[in-house]
Amino acid sequence: MVCLFLMLMVVTITCAYGIPALPPLPIKDGCNQVESELTMVRLAGEAVILDFPIFMSVVKKRKIVPPAAKYQISKTNQTDGIVFHHEGRVQQHDEQLWFLPAQASDSGNYTCTYRNDSYCVTGNITLLVYESTSVDMTQLSHPLDAMMGEELKVFCPSLSRFNYTYTQIDWYKDSSPTALQPGREGNRGSLIIPAVRRPHAGLYTCKLTVLINNQQYKVSRVFKLQVTGPEYEITPSNPVPEVSTTSDPGLLSTKAYRTINSLTAQPPVIISPVTGTVLEVSPGSGLDLFCQVQTECQMADSTLVTWLVNGQSVELSYLERRALQGEKRVTRVSKGCQVELKLIISVITEEEEKTEMKCVAQNAGGRSEVVAQIQLEDSPFTWLIVAVVAVFFFLTVVSVFIYVLFKPKRKKNMDYFLARQNSTFSV
């Protein structure tokens, strides 16, 4: 009886709440297609590790583990059916392709396929490799905006695939052949500008040497700094601070730097999201975040709004391959103007659990910021198991109660007769 009730309850819960299935992937040439990765742009002569983060997150989320299947990476514009191996200048290591070093001829569209006799899934990415003598470095740069007076600390981006723990990282500004001087504060390999000014705008390049298979290879990254905010007069008492780099590990800057504020301007107010907001997202899905800021209309154009991921700019964070900030939008509202900035994350993985998403708004009147946190939704299977266990215990308790309630009872007269009879025979 208990088992029957339990089975009926499980069927009822499943029918009532259901287990939402993931949307099917589009199919092309008999293979399931994952959306394209963000284009990777690199410099010839440097080590490049090509990977497929969106593709891998989909494979993991859908638990696609076909028996005897392997990752196969190919260059889709190749006609000779080239196959990459674990040796040579271009090597395949599972779902990664290593270029040691990369050449301009490596540019093209690459496809990663996971296939067996019954299932196939594939993803693709475009790699652009430029010669250093023939490319505008802005094409290789990560954009970065900063407000006048802001303290800026930048780490060399997109190095997570390399082991550079004991590597010296040098920074250069624009086309200068001389590296910036290291400072005494900050994290190893970071670039520090104590108080951003207009002359600090420009291209910054970080360069390092990495060790792969006991051989040294060059790696560099570029970002373009744009400075926004009101102009101010440079005087001997208010000079342009020096830009410095850091090489000492583990030391965080504790110096306080003055920010240029107007006496009349009001600081921006972030109306959405609210600090403490928890963003529940299902793994494998995308996420659109909107930061809405209210400010005076005359300050709207100069108001800087940006998203930070765990305290780092999106372009320099671990999400830089899967996230993109949209264009700033300004609209008039009843109490001034509203500035809106959209952040698009193409796919959410388990890595985003507890990730802090911070929206920062700053203008001449001051600075405001709010922090939201990503939390992964529990799987429907988890809730189903919890419900089944709860129903099982409930039905067990009910069954025991019913058994005790309707248990046959002996008649007192019969018990008394048997007791007298036993006492008579004992005499």
pLDDT of residue 102: 94
Domain-located, residue 174:
yes
Q: Given this model, what pLDDT does residue 253 score?
A: 29
Is 235 domain-assigned?
Answer: no
Residue 39 lies in a domain: yes
Same domain, 419 and 396: yes
Instruction: Encode pLDDT of 21-78 as tens digits.
Output: 567 788 888 888 988 888 888 999 999 999 888 888 777 776 665 556 678 898 876 5
Q: With a cut of 50, which residues of the chain have pLDDT below it? A: 1-8, 10-20, 184-187, 234, 247-263, 381-383, 416-419, 424-427
Q: What is the pTM of this model?
A: 0.62
Single residue among 107, 130, 153 that ends a domain in this structure: 130
Judge whether 148 lies within some domain: yes
Percentages (nearest 5) of helix, strand, coil residues in the chain = 20, 35, 45
Residue 129: its pLDDT value, please? 93
pLDDT number for residue 7: 47
265's tokens: 């301007």
- Name the residue among 144, 251, 249, 260 with its Cα closest to residue 204: 144
At a CB cut-off of 8 Å and minimum separation 6, what does 59 contact?
Answer: 114, 121
For residue 426, the model assigns a pLDDT of 46
pLDDT at residue number 314: 83
Do residue 183 and residue 124 come from a single domain?
no
Residue 361 and residue 373 share a domain = yes
Backbone Cα Rg of the chain: 32
On whether both 216 and 116 belong to a single domain, the answer is no
**Both 252 and 364 in a single domain?**
no
Question: Does 325 map to a domain?
Answer: yes
Closest CA to 280 of 353, 210, 218: 353
Q: Residue 52 carries which side chain, given as an amino acid letter?
A: F
In a domain, 8, yes or no: no
Beta bridge partners of 112: 73, 123
For residue 330, the model assigns a pLDDT of 87
Q: What is the pLDDT at residue 218?
A: 93
Q: Are residues 126 and 222 both part of a single domain?
A: no
What pLDDT shows up at residue 66?
56
Give the per-residue pLDDT at 410. 55
Q: Is residue 422 part of a domain?
A: yes
Together in a domain, 123 and 166 = no
- Taking the C-alpha atoms of residue 126 and residue 72, their distance in angstroms, rounded to an integer, is 16
SS (H, E, C) 330-390: EEEECCEEEEEEEEEECCCCHHHCCCEEEEEEEECCEEEEEEEEEEECCCHHHHHHHHHHH
Distances 5 to 1, 10, 302, 380, 383 between C-alpha atoms, Å? 6, 9, 66, 22, 19
The CATH code of the domain that includes 319 is 2.60.40.10
> What pLDDT shows up at residue 285?
81
Residues 358 and 421 in one domain: no
Last residue within a domain, chosen from 70, 101, 130: 130
Q: Are residues 96 and 182 in the same domain?
A: no
Last residue of a domain, one of 130, 148, 168: 130
Q: Based on the fold, state whether residues 171 and 253 are members of the same structural domain.
A: yes
Residue 9 within a domain = no
Question: Looking at residue 46, what DSSP letter applies?
Answer: B
Asked if residue 354 and residue 415 are part of one domain, the reply reads no
> What is the structure's pLDDT at 42?
92
CB 175, CB 138: distance < 8 Å: no
Work out how many domains the chain is built from and give that number: 4
- Residue 213 DSSP code: T
Give the pLDDT confidence score for residue 177 in this predicted structure: 83
What pLDDT was estimated at residue 243?
Answer: 65
Pair of tokens at residue 118: 């019954």
Distance CA 191, CA 244 (A): 6
| pLDDT of amino acid 237 | 52
Q: Are residues 355 and 411 in the same domain?
A: no
- Which residue segment(s) compose the domain that 93 sits in? 28-130
